[in-house]
Structure 1
Amino acid sequence: MTLAAARERQRLKRARLAIAVVFCAHGAVTGSFATRIPWIQDHTAISAGQLGLALAFPALGASLTMPLAGRIMHRFGARSALSGLLSLWTLALILPSLASNMLTLCGALFLMGNAAGMSDVAMNALGVETENKWGRSIMSSLHGMWSTGALIGSAGGTLAAHLDVSAPLHHTIAALLLTAVGLAACKRVLDIHSAPEEDPPPRFALPPKSALVYGLIGFCAVFAEGASLDWSAVYLRDEYDSSAGLAAASTTAFALTMAVARLAGDRIVDRFGPVRTVRGGGVFATLGGLLVVAAPHPLLALVGFGLIGLGIAVVVPLAFAAAGRSGPNPSQAIAGVATITYTSGLIAPSAIGAVADATSLVFSFTLVTALALGLVLGAGVLKSARENPPGELAPPAEGAEGTRQRAHSQHGP
């Protein structure tokens, strides 16, 4: 290896670590917020139904502003855009704890969702770029770092709640710390600058067809994720009359297997490819769903939820990676996939509840099982995303896109 190649590899190592820290910081905000929802509910004096409505506003805010991320990255460059958008997200953590009623809480969560969605698109676009330069799959582990960050944020929030620290103080300290960490990490990520003559992406546009296809795969996985996270404990309690501890363990089993699978998923993807990985994951998730709906004992249902988490873990990272390599505008394609998956996460908990009211929770998770089977049947759409696998980028095209790729090589860190 030449000296120049060794330096380039070292630069990419720093960039990979930096984008992993960004994902971790992004997840830590979510974990920090989630643990203080009971405090926020008490101090806004809202009912459970009102809280459920308010919690739909982050996904709504994210879905509406995700398409703007590509334009911001075009205008300021990917690194600067990520620095600003991630800072907006980490500082937005303070807003919900300052709300005094239902109206101000919905507004705070809507603004929080705006920042979450745009920063999500920016960091995934840079994650795909880093994966392409690195030459091996890293998107699964990056999303695993997001899950790790969420666990860290949850642990901090649990400690703060145990010590009876108010949510405004806890969230202010966490926001400032995560902003500092995020800004430091953003200095090391890769950069992308559009050529001066390249037209900016539209403020709002329908996602490309490729994003719709990959988004449907992500939809199946995120629906199963939202349903399992929000309803697994209720399922064990209502269907098996389980203890509170065992019911809560089902949620833990799901989240833990999902985080571990994401952290280990890159090696599996590199060995088997995205199609076989998603297809195999779909088999695990389908078996897990069948255990949930048919198990005669709660421990088997708990294992089922763990298998669902294991099976769907790498689907969304691979959908983002596929979208980022599917056309000349990665950020627009990623925004399309993200919008579809956020929408899935938004409707899944309420859809499960509505179906359960009309029929039963068992039938609701039969629907989840059917969507898991959809991963097995639809995994083949990811094959086209490997026409230019990581490390084997297509040669620069003539015109704006080719200029953009050449510009990128001149503006890296």
Structure 2
Amino acid sequence: MAEDTTLVKRSRYAVAAVFCVHGSVTGSFATRVPWIQEHTGASPGQLGLALAFPALGAALMMPLAARVSHRLGSRTALRSLLALWTLALILPSFAPNLWTLCAALLVYGGTSGMADVVMNAIGVEVEHRLHKSIMSGLHGMWSVGALLGAAVGTVAAHAGLSAQIHHLVAAVVLTVVGAVVCQFVLNIHPEDDEEPPARFALPPKSALLIGAVGFCAVFAEGASLDWSAVYLRDILDSSAGVAAGATTGFALTMAIARLTGDAVVDRFGAVRTVRWSGVVATAGGVLVVVAPTAVVAMVGFGLIGVGIAVVVPLAFAAAARSGTNASQAIAGVATITYASGLVAPSIIGGIAQASNLTVSFVVVTVLAAALAVFAPVLRTRPRVRA
């Protein structure tokens, strides 16, 4: 028993490292988008089209993750899919034109989504065996990895290093690190009489309401990340430096809230935590909408970040307990949340075009309030095998 506990604890740190590696790929790519745009000669509109393909690839491929995990076992599946994801980082910077860039980003997003599903399923199983919340902290480690990847990418960009060399080196390093840490994650094998999941399945009904909660949180996240700086510049006449600080502050508050969120979840439970998280995020949205100064708006964006930080990790954990196959349920919720991240920036832009950004963030505030209303759908259900 003591040995089993040691293995589970070791797996917790290993899967946290996997989340960090996964986030590092995203951070590494994001900082070199301007270089990739220049290399392919894409216009802003064409680049916007290309950047929709990662979410499309993820939505198409995530439902297959449960089948892969069932066939290979969770450890081998994660090792293989994580390697494909880290190596896919190389593809976009070598794309010579728009269409090859779209194809590269489709593969990039598909491998990302499949690895995402399997590592979350393992995280939920480790959380169950430890009898305490860890999912918020795992997603916090993803944010840490994204910040590390972005920091290295920023240094590479300032040094004039091409994205091709940068991403080639980063992919090799992250692939090696990922392969090492995957050796220590929990290995979940299906029972001998367990039916394999469908090769491709729509999200189970049990995951739809949980996915709707995740949709609201990710919508607010995408809107705040992409539009907070524009909001301060256009609505409050802030300088470029102050406006950029709003986005940085939002991302930082989310990372801190996720790293510390497990203690809150253990004390108050998932439902109460999300209910009060919705209240905090709603208060932040109201501050943004009525803000007379940039400082007030930045506080508002910070509160939105704190409020939505733990929602998606808790949605994945609830999904894993909502059906007979954790990976399939997580894939369903993840597909819905990825779709939210895909449509949020364009919907905010469309509303702003028709009226103004203030009205756009009224919509964000309403969705944040929905978190408080629909929090009970995350209530713990009888445990099923992951």
Short-chain TM bin: over 0.9
Q: Which residue of 2 aligns with 1:387?
A: 381
Q: Of residues 139, 144, 163 in structure 2, which corresponds to 1:167?
A: 163
TM-score by length of 2: 0.99
- Could you give the per-residue CA deviations for residues 302-324 of structure 1, whole angstroms, max 9, x where no partner exists? 11000000000000000000001
The one-letter amino acid of 2:362's match is T
Per the normalisation by structure 1, the TM-score is 0.92
Structure 2 counterparts to residues 154-193 of structure 1, below 5 A: 154-193=150-189
The CA deviation string for residues 21-61 of structure 1, in whole angstroms up to 9 with x for no partner, is 00000000000000000000011111111111100000000
Q: Aligned partners of 1:203, 1:387: CA distance in 2, in Å?
A: 26
CA distance in 2, matches of 1:186, 1:213: 32
Mapped to 2, the partners of 1:21 and 1:222 lie a distance apart of: 23
Query: Secondary structure of 2:235's match?
Result: helix
What does residue 266 of structure 1 align with? 262
1:12 corresponding residue in structure 2: 8
Superposition pairs of residues 33-72 of structure 1, within 5 angstroms: 33-72=29-68
1:31 lines up with 2:62 in the alignment? no
Q: Provide the C-alpha distance between the structure 2 equivalents of 1:376 and 1:193, rounded to a whole number of angstroms.
A: 37
Deviations 1:258-299 (A, max 9, x none): 000000000000000001100111111001000111111111
Secondary structure at 1:193's aligned position in 2? Answer: coil
- 2:87 maps to which of 87, 91, 101: 91
- Indicate which of 355, 366, 371 corresponds to 1:370: 366
For residues 225 and 32 of structure 1, the distance between their equivalents in structure 2, rounded to whole angstroms, comes to 20
1:139 partnered with 2:139: no
Q: Secondary structure at the match of 2:201?
A: coil
AA of the residue aligned to 1:284: V
Q: Which of 336, 343, 364 pairs up with 1:340? A: 336
Q: CA deviation at 1:141?
A: 0.1
* Inter-partner Cα distance in structure 2 for 1:125 and 1:387: 16
Q: Following TM superposition, where does structure 1 have runs of at least 4 consecutive aligned residues deviating by more than 4 angstroms? A: none
CA distance in 2, matches of 1:66, 1:381: 23
Cα drift, residue 166 of structure 1: 0.6
Alignment-derived partner of residue 399 in structure 1: none
Partner deviation per Cα, 1:154-191 (whole Å, 9 max, x = no partner): 00100100111110100011001111111111100001
1:112-127 paired onto structure 2 within 5 Å: 112-127=108-123
Distance 1:168 1:200 in 2: 40
Give the counterpart letter for 1:337 in structure 2: V
Name which of 348, 355, 361 aligns with 2:351. 355
For the pair 1:320 / 2:316, whether they are aligned, the reply is yes
Alpha-carbon distance between aligned partners in 1 of 2:227 and 2:242, rounded to the nearest angstrom? 13
Q: How far does residue 198 in structure 1 lie from its aligned partner after superposition?
A: 2.3
The range that moved more, 78-87 or 187-196, is: 187-196
Equivalent of 1:214, from 210, 213, 218? 210
* Residue type at the aligned position of 2:85: W
Amino acid at match of 1:74: H
Q: 1:103 is matched with which residue?
A: 99
Shifted more, 6-15 versus 344-353: the winner is 6-15
Structure 1 unaligned spans of 5+ = 395-404, 409-413
Q: One-letter code of the match for 1:161?
A: A
Residues 1:77 and 2:83 are matched in the alignment: no
Match of 1:331 among 327, 334, 354: 327
Deviations 1:229-266 (A, max 9, x none): 00000000000110011000000110000000000000
Asked whether the 8 Å contact 2:322–2:381 carries over to 1, the reply is no
What are the superposed Cα offsets for residues 206-250 of structure 1, whole Å, 9 maximum, x if unpaired?
211221010000000000000000000000000011001100000
- Asked if 1:233 is matched to 2:229, the reply is yes
Deviations 1:123-156 (A, max 9, x none): 0010101101111000000000000000000001
Secondary structure (helix, strand or coil) at the match of 1:66 reads helix
1:285 aligns with 2:281: yes
| Pair 1:196–1:6, CA change in 2 (3 A) | closer
Q: Which amino acid aligns with 2:361?
A: F
RMSD (Å) for aligned C-alpha atoms: 1.0
* Partner residue in 2 for 1:22: 18
> C-alpha separation between the residues in 2 aligned to 1:193 and 1:13?
19
Displacement after TM superposition at 1:325 (Å): 1.2
Alignment match, 1:397: none
* AA matched with 1:134: L
**In structure 2, what is the Cα distance between the partners aligned to 1:47 and 1:140?**
38
The corresponding residue for 1:411 is none
CA distance, structure 1, for counterparts of residue 163 and residue 237 of structure 2: 33
Consecutive unaligned residues in structure 2, runs of 5 or more: none
**Residue of 257, 275, 279 corresponding to 2:271:** 275
